[in-house]
Structure 1
Amino acid sequence: MLPEHDLSYILNELGEDRDQYFRAIAPPIMQTSNFAFKKVDDLRKVFEDEYSNYLYTRGLNPTVDILRKKLAALDGAEDCLVFNSGASAIFASVFANVQSGDHIVSVNKPYTWAQKMFDNTLPRFQVSTTYVDGTNIDNFERAIQPNTKVIYLESPNSWDYAIQDLKAVAQLARSKGIVTIVDNSYCTPLYQKPIELGIDMVLQSATKYIGGHSDVVAGVLTGSNAMMKKIFDNELLNMGNGVTPFNAWLLIRGLRTLPARLERITATTHKVIAHLQQHPLVEEVVFPLDPGFAQYDLARSQMKGACGLLTIVLQAKKMQEIVTFCESLRHIMMAVSWGGYESLIIPKCASLQPEAFDPAVRDHRMLRIYVGLEEPEYLIADLDQALAAVGR
């Protein structure tokens, strides 16, 4: 992990040449589409290598570059690209490393748009995917084929928080020349460092903790200089899915307070978990740094923290009980995503038709809660009154 003074330097100073913009504390938003040249030779050089200088904001932009430097340093990576969504970062990282006839190994039940890419888009180009239970390293070894080019990880995932042994997977992949990619959205660079464990590329939804205010959508991808340039020259420029300067500025703003927000969210989360674990209607609380979590020891070994995302399993016999609970909440909002200032909830049964609900299926009774920046007592009181409504 970074020493605290290094973290402060990254968040407050790295990449910010204030002498170039009037000693302003906050960097300017370079809201320009393109950049002018005085010499034809200079223009020619950038045509030959757009990664070398500013030409057109679809590629490089000064405001975005400040953000890129900070995010690369936080991950301990050589370089970084920032996209207009997490889904874009996922697509670019995978698409850049496969060709027709290749094979991918992915963890079970990855993020929705990762799975849609594996199931719907890549098969059109004769790229196949095998899903594995990533909690056992042997499953990866058995799934690898001679044409496997990518291992895709999500550790922890965002519902049951299944974890992969990142160091072991990285060692296995490198021994066979396979590229590893991990979605680190759950932990952020402050709470998990996959590159230090040998992973090739780390991505995250910057919409969540990096932005922190629920007002920007973006994705981050970090890795080696060579890999980032390869993706920049092809997938990023061709698809035109880089982040805008204004959204990059919002993400820089979000980074300033990231440690303070994570510290508060983490403290509140533990209080909420302790309360929910005592409630008679809560069958189970799932959280990777709870001692009762099945992979607790592995979580502790590769994660510094676990932020504010947890899952509860309600003792519900009917879907209506879960509906009543969600619709009785007065302050916790029902919405997707996480990582902002506001607490959120989403029931897994929202993806089911009522007649498909089966109380014997644990997943059907799961609800994901995101703990935001509110006072713990405020959230606990809201959860209690909504649970009481179920019991009436």
Structure 2
Amino acid sequence: MKNQWEQDLEICLEYGDRRKEFGGAVIPPIFGSSLFVYETTDSLSEAVMNEQEQYVYTRGTNPTIEVAEMKLAALERGEVCRCFSSGMAAITAALLNSVKSGDHVLCVSNLYFSTMELIKYLGKFGISHTICYETDAEVIEKYIQANTAVIFMESPSYMTFRLTDLDTVASLAKKRGIRTIIDNTWATPLFQKPLLHGVDIVVHSLSKYLGGHSDLVGGAVIAGKEIMGTLFTKEFLLMGASFSPYEASLLLRGLRTLPYRMHGHQENAIKIAAFLEGHPNVLRVLYPGHPTHPDFSLGKSNLTGYTGVMAFTVDGGYEGVKRVLDRLEYIKIGVSWGSFESLALTPNTGSNERQLLSEQIDPGTIRLAVGLGDSGRIISDLEQALR
């Protein structure tokens, strides 16, 4: 029987490629057509009534996108995947499918700031929210309200990189009929499979590791057939945030090398986390793959590997982080992450320190996305910037 690595590698390299159907093409062709025609009125009507399984209009289904969706669903060990035009489109669809007016969303620890802005915006429609900054399941349970409909997680969490016990949280949610959603972008399906821990919906930004080349923007939702059946007809088709077949081809290219790229990111990141941990000008390192991380033991049960995104803190608030960031040469200052390049930024804008403290984010935080370059060169750049 194949182990998880062998299964995932086969999915990335071959699964769903339909080479016989596509004339032996090693790479699935890009079906750029916006629509698909039928020979009779009856056959078109039948296809429209079954648009999840038939090609009618690329806003719904498309052969190139379908191959990518099949691979992502298989990697997550889920039943169905739908790709969207951005990660936020995917998160929006997952949330809107899960709540109604009068419901409550429980946010666990720190979430991506745009996700939090969306959840706050839902207050306009009578949907409330609470943030539990603790990741301990017993504490999370105390924040559950009678009208809680969704527990939304990011594990590791945004900027603070805390882990949540997925098995325990999913179990307590199911007992209360609460849906669980997790942003699994950091870990990728290679290093964490939340659906196997009982989580209901997984969302991804495809712009990060899954694409892997800083040249596409997209998102994905993976869940069971029942959830995705309603999501397809409502939040997917009606919102119109469809993924492009051209972007899907870039995603497929990225998936071919995903297993090898992720191990490269992990190898570099572990070395760099160790360097930062020993540097006198670094106050704290936030990386689940380093033994000093408070959730290192939990990571051994939730994660099968570690990616390249971490944070570290320095003294001096905004001026302190700016001094370090502005001295970087090889590492570039920029948003996003997950590609070959190494990137760094700070959540501190110089005017939001009070807000950061309320969110339990140190104002001296620098987020580092370790790329695939030589680890020695990355360390040398950090050394001279921290000096």
Q: Which amino acid aligns with 1:110?
A: L
Counterpart CA distance in 2 for 1:201 and 1:331 is: 38
CA RMSD of aligned residues (A): 1.9
Map Cα deviations across residues 246-284 of structure 1 (whole Å, 9 max, x no partner).
Answer: 111100000000011111111111111121222111111
Q: Which amino acid aligns with 2:232?
A: F
Q: Who is 2:93 aligned against?
A: 92
1:183–1:203 contact (8 Å) kept in structure 2: yes
Instruction: Confirm or deny that 1:224 pairs with 2:224.
Output: yes
323-332 vs 254-263, greater mean Cα deviation:
323-332
Q: Which amino acid aligns with 1:268?
A: N
Q: Who is 1:177 aligned against?
A: 177
Matches within 5 A, 1:34-45: 34-45=35-46
Q: Which amino acid aligns with 1:63?
A: T
42-51 vs 186-195, greater mean Cα deviation:
42-51
* Secondary structure of 1:285's aligned partner: strand
* Structure 1 residue 12: Cα displacement: 1.7
Instruction: Confirm or deny that 1:103 pairs with 2:110.
Output: no
Q: Which amino acid aligns with 1:61?
A: N
Counterpart CA distance in 2 for 1:356 and 1:157 is: 17
Counterpart CA distance in 2 for 1:357 and 1:180 is: 26
Matches within 5 A, 1:251-290: 251-290=251-290
Q: Which amino acid aligns with 1:87?
A: M
* Secondary structure of 2:363's aligned partner: helix
Per the alignment, do residues 5 and 355 of structure 1 end up closer, same or farther by CA in structure 2, a change over 3 Å counting? Answer: closer
Matches within 5 A, 1:148-227: 148-227=148-227
Q: Which amino acid aligns with 1:49?
A: N
189-198 vs 291-300, greater mean Cα deviation:
291-300
Q: Who is 1:368 aligned against?
A: 367
Instruction: Confirm or deny that 1:68 pairs with 2:104.
Output: no
Question: What TM-score do the two structures reach when normalised by structure 1?
Answer: 0.94
Q: Who is 1:250 aligned against?
A: 250
Instruction: Confirm or deny that 1:324 pairs with 2:323.
Output: yes
2:110–2:158 contact (8 Å) kept in structure 1: no
Counterpart CA distance in 1 for 2:184 and 2:271 is: 24
Counterpart CA distance in 1 for 2:6 and 2:136 is: 37
* Structure 1 residue 354: Cα displacement: 8.9
Counterpart CA distance in 2 for 1:256 and 1:166 is: 28
Q: Could you tell me the percent identity over the aligned residues?
A: 36
Q: Who is 1:334 aligned against?
A: 333
* Structure 1 residue 50: Cα displacement: 1.6
Q: Who is 1:137 aligned against?
A: 137
Map Cα deviations across residues 67-113 of structure 1 (whole Å, 9 max, x no partner).
Answer: 01100000000111111111111110010111111111111331112
Per the alignment, do residues 351 and 127 of structure 1 end up closer, same or farther by CA in structure 2, a change over 3 Å counting? Answer: farther
Q: Which amino acid aligns with 1:385?
A: Q
Question: What TM-score do the two structures reach when normalised by structure 2?
Answer: 0.95
1:313–1:362 contact (8 Å) kept in structure 2: no
Per the alignment, do residues 178 and 94 of structure 1 end up closer, same or farther by CA in structure 2, a change over 3 Å counting? Answer: same
158-167 vs 61-70, greater mean Cα deviation:
158-167
* Secondary structure of 2:202's aligned partner: strand
2:207–2:219 contact (8 Å) kept in structure 1: yes
Q: Who is 1:18 aligned against?
A: 19
* Secondary structure of 2:362's aligned partner: helix
* Secondary structure of 1:104's aligned partner: strand
2:105–2:128 contact (8 Å) kept in structure 1: yes
Matches within 5 A, 1:27-66: 27-66=28-67
Counterpart CA distance in 2 for 1:278 and 1:302 is: 27
Map Cα deviations across residues 13-71 of structure 1 (whole Å, 9 max, x no partner).
Answer: 21111122231211111001100000211111122232120100000000000001100
Counterpart CA distance in 1 for 2:5 and 2:265 is: 19
Q: Which amino acid aligns with 2:83?
A: V
Matches within 5 A, 1:346-357: 346-350=345-349, 352=351
Counterpart CA distance in 1 for 2:350 and 2:247 is: 31
Counterpart CA distance in 2 for 1:355 and 1:206 is: 32
Counterpart CA distance in 2 for 1:352 and 1:71 is: 40
* Secondary structure of 1:349's aligned partner: coil
Q: Which amino acid aligns with 1:366?
A: T
